[in-house]
Chains A and B, each alone.
Chain A
Amino acid sequence: EAGVTQFPSHSVIEKGQTVTLRCDPISGHDNLYWYRRVMGKEIKFLLHFVKESKQDESGMPNNRFLAERTGGTYSTLKVQPAELEDSGVYFCASSQERGTLSGNTIYFGEGSWLTVV
């Protein structure tokens, strides 16, 4: 079974340009998350989709970031316009909701490494 896949794996763009990251979750996983780690910091939550709906976007840093999940399958995260401080690694993760307090295993992709110069 394929894991969480992300594209591109690496991207170098100039300040002010636009970048779109894509994530394909594990098949059948309704929950999709975006996380980010900037240099020297811990991995931080950005947002959470349940199917095509945004469940929690409390971690999105500002309105230059736009996440979509049309049809409840793959998701994109667009940064427009990119700034230097956006450099870091963007992780996508997915899980299968079971509706219990015991929660679910959250599986991560390999990450998209973004460098803004």
Chain B
Amino acid sequence: EDQVTQSPEALRLQEGESSSLNCSYTVSGLRGLFWYRQDPGKGPEFLFTLYSAGEEKEKERLKATLTKKESFLHITAPKPEDSATYLCAVREGLTGGGNKLTFGTGTQLKVEL
């Protein structure tokens, strides 16, 4: 069974203090690792999809990287508006899992002035 573990559960940063969020995964055959941002009371907002080890994607202050066992979401010089819960999910591809995503529990990020 696919497993996704995110750490830390919560992270408090000062504005401008860069850090990284971790997503460790176990999957039979990776067919995509997804990062989403979720604000309170809202649905997950798509950020990135990574497909193979070594791949990197960037968007503003965020950069996602992927290895065979984990993914990192690097946040450079964060601002208060980056405060949200960041969710990681994997889509498995070798046992007929179709498009089903398996989610981690998320990292709740708070960026303070």
Contacts and interface: CB of A to CB of B under 8 A. Distances in A.
Interface of A: 4, 31, 33, 35, 41-45, 48, 55-56, 58-59, 91, 95, 101-111
6 contacts: A4-B43, A35-B101, A45-B102, A56-B97, A107-B46, A110-B42
A91 B89 CA distance: 15
Contacts of A108: 36, 43-46
Nearest to B31: A103
Interface string B82-113: 00000101010100011111111110000000
Interface of B: 4, 31-32, 34, 36, 41-46, 49, 51, 87, 89, 91, 93, 97-106
B43 A110 contact: yes
Contacts of A101: 31, 93
Contacts of B105: 41-42
B103 A44 contact: yes
B44 A103 contact: no
Contacts, number: 64
- Please classify the interface of chain A as helix (H, G, I), strand (E, B), loop, or mixed, using the class held by over half of its residues: loop
B47 to A, nearest CB: 10
B42 A103 contact: no
B43 A48 contact: no
Nearest to B91: A103
A16 B81 CA distance: 41
A15 B106 CA distance: 30
B42 A48 contact: no
A35 B100 CA distance: 10
A108 B43 CA distance: 6
Nearest to A47: B100
A108 B113 CA distance: 30
Contacts of A42: 4, 103-106
A91 B43 CA distance: 7
A58 B99 CA distance: 12
Task: Name the residue in A35, A91, A103, A111 with the highest tally of chain B Cβ atoms < 10 Å from its Cβ.
Answer: A103
B41 to A, nearest CB: 8
A58 B2 CA distance: 14
